[in-house]
Amino acid sequence: MSSTPALYDELCQRLHETAVLGSCSALLSWDEQTGMPAGGSAHRAEQVGLIAGLIHERATHPRIGEILDQLAGAADLGEVESIPFANVRESRRTYDRAKKLPRRLVEELSRTTSLAQQAWIKARRDNDFPGFLPWLEKMIALKREEAEAVGYGDGHPYDALLDEYEPEATAVSIQAVFGALRPRLVDLIARIQNSSTKLSTEIVDRHYPKAAQRVFADAAARSIGFSYDRGRLDESAHPFCSGIGPGDVRLTTRFMDHHFNSAFFGVLHEAGHGIYEQGLPDDQFGLGCGTACSLGIHESQSRLWENFVGRSPAFWNYFYPNAKQAFPSSLKDVPQADFYKAINVVEPSFIRVEADEATYNLHIMLRFELELKLITGELPPRDLHAVWNSTFQRDFALTPPNDAQGCLQDIHWSAGLFGYFPTYALGNIYAGMLFEAAGKDLGDLAPSFSKGEFLPLKNWLGEKIHQHGRRFSAAELMKKATGLELTHEPLMRHLEGKYSALYGL
């Protein structure tokens, strides 16, 4: 029998090679969203389907199972919190899950995702829900099959899908978190709407040339710590961040000439993801400790930089003079205080990625509610359009004027990302906890932000979050970083304090 070090080295080598193959697939997916001609969609589906099958074959190779069995309980792996121990633990978790999925299903999911995303792009552009419906139905059927293959014990079928993004979370635990947060948000939004103070978005809806937006957003992303030596920014129909591999992290956004917030805060958001990816240890690529802890933790990084930093007065103390130079025709005579108010207006709106901080989580709760019903079959996909609109009217007192601003606005369901949406709201909660803890450790961050000094916060996050990968669970990582169990109180302190000042509550 091989020694523990030899077995561990073999495991790491196998997982590293599989991750390299996965990075090839990630690059194809990035290209599909940013540059592939529409005519290439069928061939691209064949490419990603084949690679998905090869990745699955490598990831479930019997030799990995043999190595993991031999490493089970090995005393010389180190302490429970050691990197080798964590890597073996995470390898066992991902191996056991992958073994439950037949290669046929893995390949079919990958092919369907590729084709469905192209169909979604066209359907969203043409406001054509019926045209997208067959793809939605097929994707939901495949995700149900995945849930049954993975298993969910006495829980909800959704648990099997959620676990891929937020390990240890369940539909019931998410419902409890959202159930506690929702009344506080609804109360805050109602008080804002009833306030005699009325703010306007008119300033940010003026003309902002795309070329100038790109330069300004690039500079902001670079200032908060995103390295363009190890990353890049492109355009896509839906913003995303793709960690291709060590030294290669790709961001995308979409520019709107008459809406400043969309691209700028989208870039800050994706740069937050990118900084996390760039902060993961390169020598752990393909291993648990080189992988983001969870998507909730990932979203905490993007939401923290986008909102807690990017929408703060101190951030604009530094950036507003540059903004006035970049957009002279729109901002020449606009006081900084008025601009700050305009980027922080609370107003129920249709598009999630453009929502304000207060209403954003209601968008997530709506999607979570509908996903549960889609996966169980309680909500037939053909009825999604109508149920989306009625639920949106219930939560926002608005009815989407078309499906492009309603049930077709997000790419996630075409990409098979059922179980992903709850992590955005978890990310907001985590971000509140982390930002408050960073302030306690580093002192008042506002003076540093006002001088354009963002690296102390970036480095704090690197130490507390990025460097660990999946060495700890999300709950353990947050407890170590903040000293707290999961709580929405820091988030609500941030929101209530901010909007009380803005709206005179």
Residue positions annotated with a catalytic role:
270
- Strands of the sheet with 241-245, listed across from one edge: 231-235, 248-253, 241-245
The overall longest dimension of the chain from CA atoms, in Å, is 76
Helices (H), strands (E): how many in the chain? 21, 3
H, E, C per residue of 79-120: CCCCHHHHHHHHHHHHHHHHHCCCHHHHHHHHHHHHHHHHHH
Contact 113, 416 (CB under 8 A): yes
Q: What is the DSSP string of 399-466?
A: --SSGGGTTTS-STTTTT-TT-THHHHHHHHHHHHHHHHHHHHH---HHHHHTT--HHHHHHHHHHTG
Q: What share of the chain is helix, strand, coil (3-state, %, to 5)?
A: 70, 5, 30
Distance between alpha carbon 434 and the CA centroid of its chain, in Å? 17
Please give the angle made by the CA atoms of 328, 332 and 334, to the nearest 5 degrees: 135
Distance between alpha carbon 153 and the CA centroid of its chain, in Å? 27
Contact 266, 353 (CB under 8 A): yes
Q: Measured between alpha carbons, how far is 342 from 20 in angstroms, rounded to an integer? A: 44
Tell me which residue of 287, 293, 282, 292 sits closest to 10, measured CA to CA.
Answer: 287
